[in-house]
Amino acid sequence: MRKLYSTFIVLFLLSGCGQYSPSKHDVVNTHGNIENLRLLENFIENVSMDRDSKVRVVNYTDEGDPIIHDLNYSNDLITSVKDTREDEFGDQLVMENVCESIKKIDKNNLTFYQLQGCNGKETVIHVTIISDD
Give pLDDT tens digits for 13-46: 334 445 789 899 999 999 889 999 999 999 999 9
Q: Taking residues 107-115, report their average pLDDT.
A: 94
Nearest to 71 by CA among 54, 88, 84, 58: 54
- Structural element, H or E, at residue 78: strand 77-83
- Please state the pTM of the whole predicted model: 0.84
Cβ atoms 128, 115 nearer than 8 A? no
Of 35 and 133, the structure prediction assigns the larger pLDDT to 35
Cβ atoms 42, 21 nearer than 8 A? no
Question: pLDDT (tens digit, 9 = 90+) per residue, 41-93?
Answer: 999 999 999 999 999 999 999 999 999 999 999 999 999 999 999 999 989 99
- Terminal-residue alpha carbon distance, the chain: 56
Report the Cα 91 to chain-centroid distance in Å: 15
pLDDT band at 121 (very low <50, low <70, confident <90, very high): confident
